[in-house]
Amino acid sequence: MRIAVTGAGGFIGGAIAAAAEARGWEVVRFGRRQGPGILSWDLAGLPPARPPAVDAVVHAGALVADWGPARPFHRVNVLGTRAVAETFPGTRLVHISSSSVYPWWEDCSDRAEEEVAARHLGAYGRSKALADVEARRHPDSLVLRPHAVYGPGDRTLLPRLLSNIRGGALLSVGRPDVLHQLTHIGNLTAAALAACTSGVRGPVNVADANPVPLGAVLREVLDATGHDDVAVKYIPRPVAMALAGVSETVALAAGRPPRLTRYAVSQLGRQRTYRLDRLRGELGVEPISTTLADAGKWMAEPRHVRPA
């Protein structure tokens, strides 16, 4: 099996490429910057003049941020996805989408693979929704929709949570009993590789085996990273949403990223659980349960992932 992986210098793309190679597959890695073992493909620019012959392409490259101007998100996430699909028109396409394509204004409770929402809080969610649609226009495509990907190599999700520690307390949003279904990177890589050899098409939710309460997740992360003396305090969701709106307005005027975004509040403060029937029944992937016991170890390790 020979596959191409975009975004192979990042957390998700790098993990998928490594998992494929561990199976004995040949991997052509693409990244925004050329490096050892990585071919250059800036998704905001032109595709390679001579794309490689592969059995499947996993499109994991994306611009990921809570907040920012719309144009870069559209160029990389939407037009970049279109370019990947057009570059490999007759090749199996596996697109890494996001659960952020679902409605932000309501709970996701055992949500099935519905159509993407029509409105979004910011440019990132909007661009991921449009990219999801672009990928599904490809005649042989499957779209994976994970929620809150974490695991070895993560330098975004859990580090950002810990950055909210203030005065001996971790500030969070909502309530400790709000259920979330996170996605271990191992579950996402298993789904991506299964999708490469499957004939299944359309969107497929990807997540850990069972939902977990937000409070339990935060407590386990704190304990695993040596912050067992840190308490968790919760800001009510309506209050947090109002504060985020002010933070975004100030940031826009100051030309810097906001400390709190409405997107983050919507993702953290509402229930986010997903139906995994297609993942299990059609892709044949039985996901593992949420595990954060080794978070302290892999968060402390130097990052050896190639630049994206």
Place of tokens 């190679």: 21
Binned at pLDDT 50, 70 and 90, residue 306 comes out as very low
Residue 250 in this model has a pLDDT that exceeds 60: yes
Residue 294 in this model has a pLDDT that exceeds 90: no
Residue 81 in domain: yes
117-148 tens-digit pLDDT:
999 999 999 999 999 999 999 999 999 999 99
Residue 305 in domain: no
Residue 291 in domain: yes
Percent of the chain whose predicted confidence (pLDDT) is above 90: 82
Cβ neighbours around 77 below 10 Å, total:
28
pTM (predicted TM-score) = 0.93
Binned at pLDDT 50, 70 and 90, residue 305 comes out as very low
pLDDT for 304:
40
Query: Rounded to the nearest 5 degrees, what angle is found at the Cα of 150, between the Cα atoms of 295 and 279?
Result: 130
Residue 308 in domain: no
269-284 tens-digit pLDDT:
999 999 999 999 999 9
56-85 tens-digit pLDDT:
999 999 999 988 999 999 999 999 999 999
Burial 107-131 (b: 16+ CB within 10 A, else e): ebeebebeebbeebbbbbbbbbbbb
The whole domain housing 51 covers: 2-300
CATH number at residue 124: 3.40.50.720
Residue 64 in domain: yes
Of 105, 94, 63, 93, the C-alpha closest to 80 is 63
**Strand ranges across the sheet with 108-111:** 108-111, 272-274, 179-180, 212-213
> What is the chain's mean pLDDT, rounded?
93
**Section 152-159 average pLDDT:** 83
Binned at pLDDT 50, 70 and 90, residue 301 comes out as low
Residue 59 in domain: yes
Residue 167 in this model has a pLDDT that exceeds 90: no
Residue 286 in domain: yes
Residue 265 in domain: yes
The number of distinct structural domains making up the chain is 1
16-62 tens-digit pLDDT:
999 999 999 999 999 988 878 899 999 999 999 899 999 999 999 99
Question: Beta strands of the chain (E only): which ranges?
Answer: 2-6, 26-31, 38-40, 56-59, 92-96, 108-111, 141-146, 149-150, 165-166, 169-173, 179-180, 183-184, 202-206, 212-213, 231-235, 272-274
185-238 tens-digit pLDDT:
999 999 999 999 999 999 999 999 999 999 999 999 999 888 999 999 999 999
β-strands 179-180, 212-213 pairing: antiparallel
Q: Are 93 and 136 in contact (CB under 8 A)?
A: no
